[in-house]
Copies of this chain bind each other. A is one copy, B any other.
Amino acid sequence: MQLADYLKSRAALINDELERLLPHAGAFPPSVHEAMRYAVFAGGKRLRPILVLACAEAVEGEYPAGTTEVACAVECIHNYSLIHDDLPCMDDDRLRRGKPTVWVEYGQAGAVLTGDALLTIAFDLIGRAANRDPAFSDRLLLCSQELAVAAGTFGMIGGQVVDIEYEGREAGKDILHFIHTHKTGALLRASCRLGALVCGADDAALNAVTRYGEHLGLAFQITDDLLNVDGAEEKLGKAVGSDAERGKTTYPALYGVEESREMAVEQVGKAVEYAERLSHPAVLVQLARFVLERDH
């Protein structure tokens, strides 16, 4: 299958599952349920849940029943983090994917609570993936903990804390690396690991998937920074150059555009190496190479 078709079909599947799994917009109290859907259905690429599915497929050839719930849990965590990051006390962003951010649309209290709700429901969704096999519960409990650790202060939250503390201050290469491997890298890495964990993968496969996720995550962040320098505003859905304006440290700012491009290529090469250790690597390989070509 062509990668574009794969991504499209998997994104459609995830959207259908999110539609099914999230509370209806009219459920009481409606404001928070409407806001959850406003955020989640604003048009993301579903990269993280697709990675969950693709890594399970790379390990086992197919993903077991219950994987889509786990994948949707990651997407909920990702969306909660965007909602809270956009708050006036954090990044103070009014626009996300070309639409008003949740706090602009639902107020600050609404945005705090909507983010809390999406973070919380992630762990409900993992519970809903259970079947009657205790061995599968065992795997899901590992998934739940994996996600909590990746989203926590030694993962995504830790990255956001440091990112905020360094806004407007000069950050060195170590801090830049910390921020990116934690703020965005931890959840991408966890997405890959969750795909392996739902399959009950052995240590070798889990390790390969983990390294794949780490290198893919770095490649993704570097190309994201590069797009922020020269991407077209309508594609990115936010103001181009906004990182520099806010004094955010980026790869191109610290290493220059050319070296940053080379670093992204190198990370993708390593991701491909690890993908090829798995039984069914084709999609993961194409996905890693695609990171270099993306324009949004």
Q: Does A6 contact B (CB under 8 A)?
A: no
A148 to B142, CA, bound (A): 16
Contact B29 A162, beta carbon cutoff 8 Å: yes
Which of the residues B107, B126, B162 comes within 8 Å of A145, measured between beta carbons? B126
Per-residue CB contact flags for chain A residues 122-164 toward chain B (1 = under 8 Å, else 0) read: 1110111010001101101110110111011110011011101
Q: Is A119 an interface residue (CB 8 A)?
A: yes
Contacting residues, chain B, for A110 (C-beta < 8 A): 161
CB of A112 within 8 A of CB of B135, answer no
> A92: shortest Cβ distance to chain B, in Å?
10
Q: How many angstroms between the C-alpha atoms of A109 and B164 in the bound complex?
A: 8
B-side contacts of A28, CB under 8 Å: 158
Question: With A137-B138, A141-B130 known to touch, is A116 a contact of B157 (CB < 8 Å)?
Answer: yes
Number of A residues with CB within 8 Å of any CB on chain B: 55
Residue numbers in B under 8 Å from A165 (CB-CB) = 29, 31
The answer on a CB contact under 8 Å between A127 and B148 is yes
A residues 41-64 near B (Cβ < 8 Å) are none
Asked whether, in the complex, the Cβ of A112 is within 8 Å of the Cβ of B127, the reply is no
- Minimal Cβ-Cβ distance residue in B for A29: B161
Chain B residues whose CB sits within 8 angstroms of the CB of A135 once the complex forms: 134
Q: Which listed residue, B36, B112, B123, B128, touches A84 by the CB 8 Å rule?
A: B112
What residue in chain B is nearest A23 (Cβ atoms)? B153
A117 interface residue (CB < 8 Å to B): yes
CA distance A87 to B103 in the complex (A): 14
Instruction: Establish whether residues A108 and B137, one from each chain, have CB atoms under 8 Å apart when the complex forms.
Output: no
A interface, CB within 8 angstroms of B: 23, 27-29, 31-33, 36, 80, 84, 87, 89-90, 107-110, 112-113, 115-117, 119-124, 126-128, 130, 134-135, 137-138, 140-142, 144-145, 147-149, 151-154, 157-158, 160-162, 164-165
A-B contact list, 9 entries, CB within 8 Å: A27-B154, A29-B158, A89-B107, A89-B112, A90-B109, A120-B157, A123-B145, A126-B141, A127-B141
